[in-house]
Amino acid sequence: MDFDLMISSFPKLLNATLITLKLLSLSLIIGLMLGLLFSIMRISKNPIINKFAYGYSYFFRGTPLLVQIFIIYFGLGQLEFIRSSFLWAVLKEPYWCAIIAFALNTGAYTSEILRSAFQTIKPGLIEAGKSLGIQTRIIFFKIQVPIAIRQSLPAYGNEVILMLKGTSLASTVTIMDITGVAKYIISTTFKPVEVFIVAGGIYLFMTFIVHNVIKLLEKKYSFK
Amino acid sequence: MELLAFGKTGWGDELFIATLMTLAVSITAMLIGFLFALIFTPLKLSKNKFLNLLANCYTTVIRGVPELLVIYLFFFGGSAAIMFVASIFGYNDYIEINAFITGSCAIGIISGAYSTEVFRGAIQSIDKGQFEASKVLGLKKPIHFFKVIMPQMLRLALPNLSNVWQITLKDTSLISVTGLVEIMRQSYIAAGSTRDPLFFYSFAAVLYLLLTFLSMKIINRLEIKYSKGY
């Protein structure tokens, strides 16, 4: 055990944690919005909208995240009309490519989680709201959404943790997140175990915090 | 389509072999995972606090740390660890272990942690009466496990195991960083030499979709088979 290396690599990895957290929070925010949008499309009765949302979630859940990142980062740059459009300013940055891939990926999982949450709401609750003469929009935001949030919290907590682990793939497109820095230190010092303990410890600590925040939220939203 | 031709001009045969490699790694990893689950599930359910802690550490650490980090640990640490063991026995030459073995072990340990949780959940949701009944009937331990608990456990575990299989299948794409030529690595090579990454990575995505689709079909059949009588 090389404790000096562990101590000296800790601040470097902690610096990289900032990038991991940025990747995670941005992709979760965008992914949540995408997920909400696509879950509403999934419960729509229009077959085209429905099929489109299903295809989206099937593709992103059926292929590895690594393939999705590579398609966006290496693949899209090949198209001439993308290179000449304003999109290129975003798509030439590995950072934004990673965020787009993560957001689309977590959006697909989130849409499935939210869809099942919406579908488990008892129709009686919506009918009760309707018979009280409440507007459909208000029924959606004041009845369906709060119940769906409560229903989907445990599953969404898992998704956040999966996404936290998923951000490590950003290191494959040259972003120096925790895993990227860890790989760099390993390949220069050839001491994988020490670096693994420090980097893994940071990840575990973050998973621990996410786990507990979700638990608190579950308590807050539970029926008393 | 020319790019996908079999033979020397296209990448069809290379990608086909790579797909088989992905399948081989996934199946090996899944089996290694079962082996780990077989060891750690009883530990998780045991009343001994120390054994319990050991199993909890395994599942928590592996499920809380990114797969890529575990793979780097195995990739860079694997041969060093083996060389250390060999040096105790007086063998001092450089040993390089096969990328297939490192990769399947790394993914296997990850999938083992998920399988352990699945089996634990399945055993815990079997009705207590079943355990008590087989005790009352005086069944021997192996018969009790293989004839009473196992069939019920498999039925309950199968839907979740199919999730573990999907995760494992997708995780194998990460082994490409170690240079093992599976779908992802082969697409990387093909994309590099033809300068057509969009096509090859999209094709890789299609191959993965095909694999997940086919395995879901097979698993659904198994589910029907094991839920007979319910």
Distance CA A129, CA A140 (A): 10
CB spacing of B65 vs A65 below 8 angstroms:
no
**Strand, coil or helix: what is A43?**
coil
Contact between chains at B212 and A62 (C-beta distance less than 8 A): yes
| CA atoms of B108 and A202, how far apart (whole Å) | 23
Q: What is the DSSP letter of B228?
A: T
Q: Which of A195, A168, A19 is nearest to B177 (CA)?
A: A168
Q: Can you tell me the mean pLDDT for A78-83?
A: 82
Cβ <8 Å between A66 and B212:
no
Q: Hey, are the CB atoms on A182 and B69 less than 8 Å from each other?
A: yes
Interchain CB contact of A168 with B (< 8 Å) = yes
Read off the pLDDT band of A224 (50, 70, 90): low
A16 by Cβ neighbours in 10 Å (0-12 / 13-18 / 19+) ranks as buried
A186–B198 C-beta distance less than 8 A:
no
ipTM confidence: 0.87
Binding-face residues of A in 77-96 toward B, CB within 8 A: 78-79
Picking from A78, A165, A171, the nearest residue to B198 by CB comes out as A78
d(C-alpha B212, C-alpha A67), whole Å? 14
Contact A168 B204 (CB under 8 A): no
Reported as half-sphere exposure (CB side, CA atoms, 13 A), residue A2 has a value of 14
- Candidates A58, A63, A188, A206: best to mutate against B (most CBs of B within 10 A) is A63
CA B171 to chain A, closest CA, distance in angstroms equals: 7
Q: Positive or negative, the Cα torsion across A143, A29, A106, B55?
A: negative
Task: Tell me how far apart the alpha carbons of residues B92 and B89 are, in angstroms, rounded to a whole number.
Answer: 9
Cβ atoms A13, A202 nearer than 8 A? yes
Task: Give the predicted TM-score (pTM) of the model.
Answer: 0.89
Query: What is the number of H-type helices and E-type strands within chain B?
Result: 9, 0
Residues 6+ apart with CB under 8 A from A131: none
Tokens describing residue A158: 């898992």
- Answer whether A68 touches B (CB < 8 Å): yes
Apex CA B117: angle with CA B114 and CA B122, to 5°?
Answer: 125
DSSP 3-state assignment of B91? coil
Q: Residue B126 contacts by C-beta under 8 Å, 6 or more apart in sequence?
A: B149, B152, B153, B156
Contact at 8 Å (CB) between A130 and A139?
yes
Confidence of residue B71 (pLDDT cuts 50, 70, 90): very high
Select the residue from B3, B19, B72 to test the A interface by mutation, using most A Cβ atoms within 10 A.
B72
**Domains, chain B, ranges and CATH?**
14-226 (1.10.3720.10)
pLDDT at B1 over 70: no
Say yes or no: B14 contacts chain A, CB-CB below 8 A: no
Give the mutation candidate from A17, A19, A59, A66 for the B interface (greatest B CB count, under 10 A): A66
Domains of chain A (ranges; CATH) run 3-221 (1.10.3720.10)
* pLDDT reported for residue B2: 67
User: Which tens digits make up the pLDDT trace of B131-162?
Assistant: 889 889 988 888 888 888 888 888 889 889 99
Chain A: nearest CA to B41, how far in angstroms? 21
Burial tier of A201 (Cβ tally within 10 Å: 0-12, 13-18, 19+): middle
Instruction: Give the mean pLDDT of chain B.
Output: 89
